[in-house]
Amino acid sequence: MEVTITVNGTPVTSEIEPRKLLVHFVREDAGLRGTHWGCDTSNCGTCVLWVDGSPVKSCTMLAAQADGHEVTTVEGLEQGGVLDPIQQGFIECHGLQCGFCTPGMMMTGRWLLDNNPNPSEAEIRDCISGQICRCTGYKNIVASIQWAAEHPATSEVTA
Amino acid sequence: MTAVEEVPLSAAGNPIGFGSMRRVEDARFVRGQGNYVDDVNLPGMLHSAILRSPHAHARIVSIDAAAAEALPGVVAVITGKILEGIPRPSLLGDNFAWMPTLSYDTQAVLATDKVRFQGQEVAYVIAESRYIAKDALELIDVEYEILEPVMDAKRALDAGAPIIRDDKGQTDNSITDVHGNKTWESGNAESTAAAIAAAKADPNCVVVTQEIMYPRVHPAPMETCGSVSYLDKVTGQLTMYTTTQAPHAHRTVYAMVAGLPEQKIRIISPDIGGGFGNKVPVYPGYVLSVIGTIVTGKPVKWIEDRGENLVSTGFARDYHMTASIAATKEGKILAVDVDVLADHGAFNGVAQPTNYPAGFFNIFSGSYDYADAHCKVTPVYTNKAPGGVAYACSFRITEAAYVIERVVDCLAQELQMDPAELRLKNLLRPEQFPYLSPTGWEYDSGEYEKTMRVAMEMAGYDELRREQAEKRAKGEYMGIGISFFTEGVGAGPRRDMDILGLGMADGIELRVHPTGKAQLRLSVQSQGQGHETTFAQIVAHELGIPPEDIEVLHGDTDNTPFGLGTYGSRSTPVSGAAASVVARKVRDRARIVAAAALECAPDDLDWELGRWYVKGDRERGKTIAEIALLSHSSLELPEGVEGHLDATAVYNPPSLTYPYGCYICVVDVDPGTGQVKVRRFIAVDDCGTRINPMIVEGQVHGGLADGVGMALMELIAFDSDGNNLGGSFMDYLLPTAVECPDWELGETVTPSPHHPIGAKGVGESATVGSPAAVVNAVIDALSPFGVRHADMPLTPANVWRAIQGNAMRVDMAIE
Amino acid sequence: MQTPAPVDYARATSVADAIDLLEKHGDEARLLAGGHSLLPMMKLRLARPEILIDLNDLDELRGIRIEGEEIVIGAMVTHAEILDSPVLAEHYAIFREAEKVIADPIVRNKGTIGGSMCQADPSEDLSAVGSALKGSVVIQGSGGKRTLALREFHEGPYETKVGDAEILIEVRFPIRPGAGSAYEKVERRVGDWPVASAGVFVVVSGGVVTDCGIGLTAIGAEHFCAPDAEAYLIGKAPTEENLAAAAQLAADACTPYADQRGPVDYKLHLARELTLRTLRKAAASSQGA
């Protein structure tokens, strides 16, 4: 079947098998490999991206379901050469080590702040509770999201 | 994030030396521009998938792959029988169906005679897409004759137990190491037995014996294992992108396994999504991707599922331990004896230094001052996946730290003594270092009591005990757990540490370009440790070149010198030392060049960070950048000095380094449900010099989460039919941000006296030290119920059962 | 990574269209709602439908509204929407308390109430909520709509009374003025399926329990409920003694099996303990505490 999914603002049209998972569409058809996968069972959140502005686990959604919808990935966070505060926060607060869970964590973190600009530590921990990080013990991920909350204007910092 | 004050900052604001600085790596990772193995796509690349055994122990009667081969898009289906037919020009087995493990055992690449664990590799499909490869697996018809499996390690050596390794002509399930030993002992058996017997007979002494299991767990990095292999048939060059923590060691192993000339093998480890030991061994999947490219002539990608990763790749622990500790009633420890039954799975695939088949487990005597210690480890085969050294374990020091710290708490309970007081009575004293342990380890340095006092101060230990007493009076159960651990890391001295005959020294290469910018080429392999940042800081510290002007290259065997890789917390102790040594070589050469330029003798020059200057005349000098250019110029240099500042080094560590720490955990237990909440966790680590404190702390945070995970939820158990009960992230539970508290870190700094910059390595400290703190806290909470021990994981069910006086056996299915 | 077997895909444009598609494809078709139960099963190749009928465009199945004396939740309402619903929070705390421990925030963005009910997992938290509140479902087929009590909805594990060519379109709950409700779950880790959960509502009037419902999941309670325990409480004062006796009756209604979440004795203990805890809380809430 032919699908057209707008990925980070750019329509991507592709002939796919209906069974193709959205994570594979993004990685293979859209050629954006920042979205990873880690578990197959929607437990780890490594594959989190946004569909129509809401984070979803893209290993548990068919690309066909996203036909005609808007997908945003980690590659869509940086705007005009300026990092999103969530990206800057992860750098400033050492919110990543191996980097594998990082795109998913940032997508969820950005979404949280879009809906709750000043989340408590408990709210942050709850919001990322469907996502596993094996490196950081989460403390610095929480700090990174807090940093982004405290620095909402992207112009304040540069990479 | 400020640098240590005395360290000057570069124009970019980075410390020219040690101190916290942002990581170089992050720029690509936060943009989604990392390059992991599954991100590698080569022209014409094929995909592959492995058919795995559903049974733990079964004879293969037949394999019919015709329907799979007929599926459109399938390029080849490979079975063990086919591999058996490919002769191998190597010393390690005569055909491709078997491969060597890192412990001189053999492991099936694809099963030929029998399957020996659930998840074992049976057939390999190469296809045009990963979807088709998976479809084809369903079309392969394997007929099995099911055999009784050996799932309970305690029964593996029973007379009449099914024989797992009949392929080797075994008549039982014992494991024999390369030296011919069936058990691994260390320490003094006689003196320890005598000390324990004397204590038993002495009314002023006690002996506490406790069975303690460290169950099977899995490192479960977020990125599973995988590889993309391509053999160029014209040039004979094999290029392999692969998830390995040890690219050079893997290159040598592939040369042995595949019979390919080593100069034609290039291993590229791009970004690695976590390793924790899981990516040290050579797995059948890697070898199959090599065979795949040999067969098809095209690049072949193999990427594991999560389930495959959990059921077939390197597990960790699985030690059944019985520990006895003898002490005076005043709490002076006299002796410790540990007897271990070690479950190695179906193939002995542990990645240990050859002379240390139980890893460094015999450091179990811990951080305490007593004379008599002994352990005996008996390894057995079972019908479980192979592996056994993985998950940030510092070569089984995790098991060692756990058993001693648990049994010390059992002793404290027996003596009705505060566990902190008991530890303080027995900790090694600063003047005892270097300290030779009763099992033969020479601890380099430590101020143990100081570190423990810092932790107790941070925790507010006395106040916590008061709070606990008040809560108990109200029927609320909080627990306080302490762990004091000592590790030996940085393997290791080449004289007695090797893996498959490869000594554990690390090469390094530093190139200083004419403009004074540098490239450092490492043998070790970051899986998130931030080598690109910290190694530049080491060179910056030695040469004064700003870290942003030093490019660190790693992960490509064609472009880096040989070394044994990153595991066992060895990068900083070994390669970090190498970086320091090679930079000092450059500094010494720079002195000669500067002397020639300044028309004086090298001895007339003094060093300040980044610059040689004439003694007594600070104005007259040359910076490293100036010297770099001069070294390429027509400047006349003394006889024997060729010019350039590039240098290489190999660092063969004189000894291990011994990081240590004191951890205190506070938990609240709901006795009505058995649920445990980790309320606080205080971790004071002493890893010697901290190159980048931000990164050190990050590594500790990660290891503490491991400890919470293992103590409370992580487990791979099996049912008696051989089914793996931890084969997905629905079943193998990893801690989330909700179970992890806001870690409270402290530090003391006792540099290693024999490491060039005094650094000890920290990558595994927290994983080693934290499980005992959590378990000790839970047992402390439950002590009013008379609970002395329960095995990890302390799930709600297990905690509730412990309260009922009926703690569960954790390695087998719950019944 | 795991991949589903080949499958066709169709987007339903209306409930009627979805029913037409179901009739056309018979039992080889599966409805796709949030997909968070079905797709993992398909990736494991434990489910292999020939066609998926995607309901995600059906706005008629969305929304939470009050109709007369009932709260109506559309089948495609997500867990996240239930968690955040002020209407539900006003009438029943149990929804919020249950939803905040179901899966995780990201999964809750996709998973739906209809999908959860129809998956009929024996450990489904919403099934316990539905049974506790004595809700009903509306099922639509080509012959029209029918309403079924949730306590008659399940045929067994993973089996419901929704026919091959039928769609569960909404879930309805009676509004009970003065009811207190609560939910408690014991899990090995946040996001895990329950070891055991209990959810209850209690109406206390004139010092005695006049109405109550007890839902249990993951511990083998038939239809996720404990009618004997409910009957016991009616007309009795919500004393600790009475609540404890009811909790014991609730545990007696359970036949859990041992698995890696826990042994049978522990699960039976939890059945009692969690029922008691939720009864206490709900009774106190009903009495305005």
The ipTM (two decimal places) reads 0.97
Rounded to an integer, what is the distance from CA B686 to the centroid of its chain? 19
Contact in structure between B658 and B752 (CB atoms under 8 Å): yes
Tokens representing residue C252 in the block = 């007696």
Residues 136-155 of C with CB under 8 A from B: none
> Hey, what CATH class is B505-651 in?
alpha beta
Of C43, C106, C190, the CB nearest to A40: C43
Sequence-ordered list of residues with C-beta below 8 angstroms from that of B15, at least 6 positions apart, any chain: B3, B4, B7, B8, B9, B21, B537, B540, B547
| Alpha carbons C247 and C244: distance in angstroms, whole number | 5
pLDDT band at B87 (very low <50, low <70, confident <90, very high): confident
CB contact under 8 A, B29 and A129: no
Judging contacts by C-beta atoms under 8 Å, the chain B residues touching residue C121 are: none
Q: Do B307 and C262 touch (CB under 8 A)?
A: no
B729 contacts on A by Cβ (under 8 Å): 39, 41, 43-44, 132
Predicted pLDDT at B4: 46
Over residues C2-32, the pLDDT tens digits come to 999 999 999 999 999 999 999 999 889 999 9
Of B39, B701, B729, the CB nearest to A136: B701
> Do A56 and C39 count as a contact with CB atoms less than 8 A apart?
no
Distance in Å, alpha carbon of B743 to nearest chain A alpha carbon:
7
* C196 half-sphere exposure, CB direction, 13 A CA radius: 35
Report whether pLDDT(B173) > 90: yes
Report CB contact under 8 Å: A64, C43. Answer: no
- A108 to chain B, any CB pair closer than 8 A? The answer is no
Q: How far apart are CA B249 and CA C13, in angstroms?
A: 58
Which fold is adopted by the domain B38-147+224-272+279-312? Aldehyde Oxidoreductase; domain 3 (3.90.1170)
Cβ atoms of residues C72 and C65 within 8 Å: yes
State residue A158's pLDDT score.
46
Q: How many residues make up chain B in this entry?
A: 815
Chain C residues inside the 8 Å CB shell of B673: 186, 270, 273-274
Q: Does the bond joining B492 to the residue before it have cis omega, within 30 degrees of 0?
A: yes
CB spacing of A65 vs C6 below 8 angstroms: no
Look at residues B395, B455, B269, B496 and name the one whose alpha carbon lies nearest to residue B761.
B395
Question: What confidence score (pLDDT) does residue B90 get?
Answer: 58
Residues of chain B with CATH 3.90.1170.50: 38-147+224-272+279-312
Q: Are B547 and B16 in contact (CB under 8 A)?
A: yes
User: Between A17, A19, A45, which is nearest C106 by CB?
Assistant: A45
B381-440 confidence digits (pLDDT tens): 999 999 877 899 999 999 999 999 999 999 999 999 999 999 999 999 999 999 999 999
- CB A56 to CB C6 under 8 A? no
With beta carbons under 8 A apart, name residues in chain C contacting A17. Answer: 6
Confidence of residue B192 (pLDDT cuts 50, 70, 90): very high
Q: What is the pLDDT of residues B535-553, one digit of tens each?
A: 999 999 999 999 999 999 9
| Top CATH class, C179-286 | alpha beta
Q: Sign of dihedral through CA atoms B624, B627, B631, B633? A: positive
* Contact state of A21 with C191 under an 8 Å Cβ cutoff: no
Which letter does DSSP use for residue A62 in this model? B
CA distance A144 to chain C (A): 19
B residues 735-754 near C, CB within 8 Å? 735-736, 738-739
Q: How many CB pairs below 8 Å do chains B and C form together? A: 73
- Identify the DSSP state of B72: T
**B801 at the C interface (CB within 8 A)?**
yes
Cβ neighbors of B483 (< 8 A, separation 6 or more) are B401, B405, B662, B663, B665, B769, B770, B771, B772, B773, B776
pLDDT reported for residue B1: 36
- Residue C122's Cβ-side half-sphere holds a number of Cα atoms within 13 Å equal to 13
User: pLDDT-derived band of residue B92, with 50, 70 and 90 as boundaries?
Assistant: low
Amino acid, single-letter form, for residue A13:
T
Average pLDDT over residues A65-69: 98
Looking at CATH, the fold of the domain delimited by C8-54 is given as 3.30.43
Could you tell me the pLDDT band of residue B640, with boundaries at 50, 70 and 90?
A: confident
Q: Is the pLDDT of residue B2 over 50?
A: no
Subunits close to C (at least 3 CB pairs below 8 A): A, B
Task: Decide if C1 and B800 are in contact by the 8 Å CB cutoff.
Answer: no
Q: Does A34 touch chain B (CB under 8 A)?
A: yes
Question: C90-103, pLDDT tens digit by residue?
Answer: 999 999 999 999 99
Tell if the CB–CB gap between A18 and C110 is shorter than 8 Å. no
Q: Answer whether residue B788 shows pLDDT above 60.
A: yes
C189, C263, C277 ranked by CB distance to B736: nearest: C189
Task: Give dist(CA B291, CA B517) in Å, integer.
Answer: 42
Sign of CA dihedral A25, A31, A32, A37: positive
Contact between A4 and A68 (Cβ < 8 Å) = yes
User: Looking at chain B, which residue has its C-alpha nearest residue A96?
Assistant: B26
Q: Is the pLDDT of residue B642 over 60?
A: yes
Residue B45: left (phi > 0), alpha (psi -120 to 50), or beta?
beta
> Is B713 an 8 Å CB contact of chain C?
yes
B505-525: burial string, b at 16+ Cβ within 10 Å, e else: bbbbbbbbbeebbbbbbbbbb
Contact B559, B551 (CB under 8 A): no
More confident residue, A156 or C99: C99
Cα–Cα distance, B555 to B550 (Å, whole number): 17
**B contact chains, 3+ CB pairs < 8 A:** A, C
Res A157 pLDDT > 60: no
Average predicted confidence (pLDDT) for chain B: 96
Q: List for chain C the helix, strand, coil content (%; round to 5).
A: 40, 30, 30
- Can you give the residue ranges of every domain in chain C? 8-54, 59-174, 179-286
- CB contact B71 to C (< 8 Å): no
**What residue spans in chain B does CATH classification 3.30.365.10 cover?**
315-491+655-803, 505-651
pTM summary value: 0.98
Per-residue pLDDT, A154: 61
How would you classify the pairing of strands C194-205 and C179-187?
antiparallel
Asked if pLDDT for residue C55 goes beyond 50, the answer is: yes
Q: Do B34 and A100 touch (CB under 8 A)?
A: yes
CA distance A65 to C27: 21
Fill in the DSSP letter of residue C193.
P
pLDDT attached to residue B258: 78
Sketch out chain A's domains with CATH numbers.
2-76 (3.10.20.30), 85-152 (1.10.150.120)
CATH 3.30.465.10 for domain C59-174: yes
Using omega within 30 degrees of 0 as the cis cutoff, is the peptide bond preceding B793 cis?
yes
Give the tens place of pLDDT for each residue, B502-512.
Answer: 999 999 999 99
Average pLDDT over residues B288-304: 96
For residue B26, the distance in angstroms to the closest alpha carbon of chain A comes to 6
* Residue with token string 């193998």: B732
Closest Cα of chain A to B572: distance in Å? 16
pLDDT computed for residue B93 by the predictor: 63
How far A68 CA sits from the closest chain B CA (Å)? 24
Instruction: Identify the closest residue of chain C to A21 by CA–CA distance.
Output: C3
CB of B244 less than 8 A from some CB of A: no
Which chain A residues touch C54 with a CB distance below 8 Å? 64-65
Q: Is the pLDDT of residue B3 over 60?
A: no
Of A32, A74, A125, the CB nearest to B738: A125
Cβ neighbours of B739 in C, within 8 Å: 189-190
Taking Cα atoms as reference points, which of A77, A79, A52, A61 lies closest to residue A22?
A61
CATH architecture of B315-491+655-803: 2-Layer Sandwich (3.30)
Q: In this model, does residue B23 exceed pLDDT 90?
A: yes
Q: How far is A24 from chain C (nearest CA, A)?
A: 10
CA B149 to each of CA A2, B163, B314: distance values in angstroms, whole numbers, following the listed order: 49, 9, 20
Nearest CB to C186; choose among B713, B738, B796: B796
* Local structure of C112: helix, strand or coil: strand
Share of chain B above pLDDT 70, in %: 99
Nearest chain C residue to A129 by CA: give it.
Answer: C104
The CA distance from B673 to the nearest CA of chain C, in Å, is: 7
> What interhelical angle do A102-115 and A85-92 show, nearest 10?
120
Stretch C118-129: mean pLDDT, rounded? 97
pLDDT at B5: 53
Q: Any chain B CB within 8 A of the CB of C206?
A: no
Say yes or no for a CB contact (<8 Å) between B222 and A36.
Answer: yes
**Which residues on chain A are in Cβ contact (under 8 Å) with C109?**
54-56
CB pair distance less than 8 Å for B713 and C193: no
> Nearest CA of chain A to the CA of B168: how many Å?
36
Out of B29, B694, B702, whose CB is closest to A134?
B702
At B660-705, the pLDDT tens digits run 999 999 999 999 999 999 999 999 999 999 999 999 999 999 999 9
Q: Does A133 touch chain B if contact means CB atoms closer than 8 Å?
A: yes
Whole-angstrom distance, CA of residue B618 vs CA of residue B607: 10
For strands B506-512 and B518-522, give the pairing. antiparallel
CA pair distance C248, C236, nearest whole angstrom: 16
Mutation target for A interface from B134, B303, B554, B736: give the one with most A CBs within 10 A. B736
Q: At what angle do helices B693-712 and A139-150 cross, to 10 degrees?
A: 120
Three-class DSSP category at B741:
coil
Residue of A nearest to B272 (CA): A98
- Beta strands B98-100; B106-108: pairing state: antiparallel
Q: Do C188 and B796 touch (CB under 8 A)?
A: yes
Residues on chain B touching C42 (C-beta within 8 angstroms): none
CA-to-CA distance for C222 and C155, rounded, in angstroms?
10
A94: which 2 tokens? Answer: 């050492």
Mean pLDDT of chain C: 97
How close, in Å, is residue C5 to chain A by CA atoms? 7
- The pLDDT tens digits of the residues spanning C230-250 come to 999 999 999 999 999 999 999
CA-based nearest residue in chain B for residue C197: B673
